Amino acid sequence: MPRGRRTGPTRTREAIVDAAQTAFATSGYDAVSLRSIARAAGVDPALVHHFFESKSALFAAAMALPVDPETFVTALLAGDRDTLGERLVLALVELWDQPDGFRGFLGLIRGAMSHEGAARMLREFVTREILGRLAEAAAPDHPHTRAALAGTQIIGLAVGRKIVGIAPLAEADPAWLATTIGPTIQRYLTEPLPPAV
């Protein structure tokens, strides 16, 4: 390959992030090498280091979300509060099912299993950016606890459907999942909680 800068506009950085998203979402954090990302992006390995200080910096960049959480939450809150759970499940599942829809989120989940930084990102993102705001708007009391409870069901669904691939879930219709699992979320977000012990 010729050395030196290519002529014309440049998309290399984007290509690297793109390849990294796919790789992290597919294989987690440790199993992915910078070299394999560079290969997938059609790029020299050293370029990855040129654009991103380290592997973990690239990981953080790749986890940037493809959907604006603000818009997402606002749209959900605009509808009927009694069906918030169902609509959240439906929206998430459809998002995950898009080929490029939520690669970042899946990578985040995978990464969180073995990487404390990713675990922190997942924790903060799920409970603060999404569920925390929904819980605050939906019920006055204990928004953090409600968000955490709903988070367990959502993470479990994501793992079961998109990562582990438990058959009845992986193939289930999104609408069916919404009517089946939605009420669980609804309960966690809005119904009275047992008193703490």
Partner DNA sequence: TGCTAATATCATCGCGTGATGAATTCTCTG
Partner DNA sequence: CAGAGAATTCATCACGCGATGATATTAGCA
Q: Quick one: 53 or 171, whose CB is closer to a copy of itself?
A: 171
- Residues in contact with DNA, counted by CB under 7 A, come to a total of 27
Q: Which residues contact 83 (CB under 8 A, 6 or more apart)?
A: 182, 186
Q: Which residue type, as a one-letter code, is found at position 20? A: A
Q: Which residues contact 99 (CB under 8 A, 6 or more apart)?
A: none
Q: Which of residues 141-170 bind a copy of itself (CB under 8 A)?
A: 144-145, 148-149, 151-157, 159-161, 163-169
21 near 108, Cβ under 8 Å?
A: no
CA-CA distance, 159 to 154, in Å (whole number)?
A: 9
185 near 88, Cβ under 8 Å?
A: yes
By CB under 8 A, name the one of 16, 37, 58, 112 that touches a copy of itself. Answer: 112
Q: Quick one: 41 or 189, whose CB is closer to DNA?
A: 41
CA-CA distance, 134 to 29, in Å (whole number)?
A: 30
40 binds a copy of itself (CB under 8 A): no
Q: Which residue type, as a one-letter code, is found at position 192? A: P
Q: Quick one: 9 or 195, whose CB is closer to DNA?
A: 9
By CB under 7 A, name the one of 25, 43, 126, 154 that touches DNA. Answer: 43
193 binds a copy of itself (CB under 8 A): yes
Q: Which residues bind a copy of itself (CB under 8 A)?
A: 27-28, 30-31, 109-110, 112-114, 119, 122-123, 126-127, 144-145, 148-149, 151-157, 159-161, 163-169, 173, 175-176, 179-181, 183-184, 187, 193-194, 196-197
